[in-house]
Copies of this chain bind each other. A is one copy, B any other.
Amino acid sequence: MEGVAAEAASLAGHLQLSKLVCLYDDNRVTLAAATDITFSEDRALRFQAYGWQTLVVNKGNDLVALNAALKAARAETTRPTLILVRTHIGFGSPEQDSFRAHGSPLGVEDVKRTKEALGWPVDPPFLVPEAALLHFRQALIRGEQAKADWNARWRAYAEACPSLAAELEGRWRGDLPPGWDADIPVFGADSKGMATRVAGGRVMNAIAPRLPALFGGSADLDPSTYTALEGQGTFNPPNRRGDDLQGSDASGWGFSGRNLHFGVREHAMGAIVNGLAAHGGYLPFGSTFLIFSDYLRPAIRLAALMGLHVVHVYTHDSIALGEDGPTHQPVEQLASLRAIPHLSVIRPADANETAVAWKVALEARDRPVLLVLTRQNLPTLDRTLHASAEGLRRGAYSVRELRAAGAHKGAPDLILLASGSELALILKAAERLCADGLSVRCVSMPSWDLFDAQPRSYRDDVLPPGVVARLAVELGSTQGWHRYVGDAGDVLGVDGFGASAPADVLLNNYGFTIDNVVLRAQRLLAAGSKRPENLQRES
């Protein structure tokens, strides 16, 4: 019934994944009810519509029929198979065919009655007959033999194709091949700059030829997310190739393609990249707009829980995407993704931070990483004037410190913090504030989780405890920023929904202007450094 299963089954049928065999445990009850109350589909017909082979086993305990169905499933070469198996939950127990058998354990008395009904000895409570033990012991021997056979085949393969075998072993381990990052561009200073989605696409395409494990695509948005791997082919069954190839990669169409088109199926995309990572040998990525991360949130959470190395590329990362309006404008998504444990969320501020963010994402290995990128152009910072973008690795870093005339050392008067597109804004505001006689530190803070993982000494270097005048600026929910700006600090964010208008009109109306950042900073300083009464702020 779950939509994610429908999305995945539809794509599996399209891709002709004939090695996929699903057994549908058709016991006619759910946790709460008989399926008759809510579910009257023709299940077989639905999967036939997806392009699946469907088989029926009328008795779930008929091992001969089950085996025959599995054999037929394995014999199929162009369709996945669904085997609909009629079963009886709580078989033989007084609760047979009851939804109570789903959620509630049988009591001692019912277990006894079940055993009696099935002709099984009531004592001892846990009985393993000798014949069953022998059967399973034989399975151990068969398994050892299968393992030995496989290892022999592998050694033969490794001798015949040593470099391919080495590549595959490296991919299984999750290693990055030597020189994988050699072609990542360094972006020159440019006040016009480029969108971080564009920079991200250039970085991915610089990496892809050297990193064969990189594999993935978008949920029908790659022309907008810039995540197509050019010249790496379209992953699709050769016999699906028709006349209309719009959107496919010109270099080829087949199962060696590395661009997977997920369709408008975000949740399945999240589940599929998880499956690829769990299988091993791939470094899978998925992509959509940041707002649509809500659709695959359960899959992101599972990746974090399972420690799966997947990369998600989420573009159009704020209300600055413009006219598409509040249904498409992420506001609380950054905060809500940052709340997921064991997940890295990185929102780079320019093209070079984007390049470093991709490096971090691919080196992470033990967790999923989300890259959050802009639709709109951002200036590419002159790194001879600003600290190196490598600072992104530590989550936050002082990117520039502007000293008031005559103030050559000591702590700054004010710290401005920003992530992503707002870094350029605070840098400009800092220049104005500096001209007014203030020493201002600008901190680029692309990732809370990477920063939180730093030692206390580094965090105190970036955000010295003595400097309590701190203003954070980010085009998203303010939730969670107070931990970094403190009681005496302030946050300029977006705590309501967006609106439909050109980006510059929106930024002006939501207060993301140099004037307003300067004003908020001045107010902060005027109110004094430590203000206990600020613990409760006006929202």
Chain A positions near chain B (C-beta within 8 angstroms): 1-7, 10-11, 13-14, 28-34, 36-43, 45-46, 48-51, 98-99, 103, 218, 220-224, 234, 236, 240, 242, 244-248, 261-268, 294-295, 297-298, 301-302, 304-305, 326-327, 331-332, 335-336, 338-342, 452, 456, 459-460, 463, 465-466, 468, 477, 479-480, 482-484, 486-487, 495-497, 530, 532-539
Contacts and interface: CB of A to CB of B under 8 A. Distances in A.
Contact of A265 (B1, B245, B480, B486): B1
Candidate in A5, A294, A452 with the most chain B CB atoms within 10 angstroms: A294
B14 A40 contact: yes
B40 A240 contact: yes
A263 B38 contact: yes
A33 B245 CA distance: 8
Contacts of A486: 487, 532, 535
Contact of A50 (B41, B223, B326): B41
A80 to B, nearest CB: 13
B332 A246 contact: no
Contacts of A5: 3
A49 B4 CA distance: 18
Contact of A248 (B33, B452, B487, B532): B33
Given A38-B262, A341-B495, 12 more contacts: A2-B266, A30-B247, A33-B248, A41-B50, A41-B51, A46-B49, A99-B223, A452-B539, A460-B533, A463-B535, A479-B479, A479-B480
Contacts of A262: 38
B465 A532 contact: yes
Contact of A34 (B30, B34, B245, B304): B245
A349 B484 CA distance: 30
A218 to B, nearest CB: 7
A33 B28 CA distance: 39
Contacts of A267: 3
Nearest to A11: B38
Contacts of A302: 327
Given A34-B247, A341-B497, A265 B335 contact: no
B261 A32 contact: yes
Name, among A40, A298, A302, A537, the residue most crowded by chain B CB atoms within 10 Å (CB to CB): A40
Given A45-B49, A46-B50, A99-B247, A221 B32 contact: yes
A33 B264 CA distance: 11
B247 A460 contact: no
Contacts of A234: 37
Q: Which one of A222, A242, A305, A538 has the greatest number of beta carbons of chain B within 10 Å?
A: A305
Nearest to A268: B3
A129 B305 CA distance: 62
Nearest to A333: B339
Contact of A218 (B32, B43, B222, B537): B32
Nearest to A14: B40
A220 B39 CA distance: 11
Closest 3 CB pairs of A and B: A3-B3, A33-B247, A336-B336
Given A41-B13, A336-B339, A3 B4 contact: yes
A377 to B, nearest CB: 18
Given A339-B477, A535-B463, A536-B456, A220 B32 contact: yes
A490 to B, nearest CB: 12
A88 to B, nearest CB: 12
B261 A33 contact: yes
A503 B248 CA distance: 52
Nearest to A531: B465
Contact of A1 (B7, B222, B338): B7
Contacts of A463: 535-536
A532 to B, nearest CB: 5
23 contacts: A1-B264, A2-B264, A13-B40, A28-B244, A30-B263, A31-B224, A32-B218, A32-B221, A32-B224, A33-B247, A37-B246, A37-B248, A43-B49, A48-B49, A335-B479, A336-B339, A452-B539, A456-B536, A460-B536, A465-B536, A466-B532, A479-B479, A480-B482
A234 to B, nearest CB: 7
A417 to B, nearest CB: 12
A39 to B, nearest CB: 6
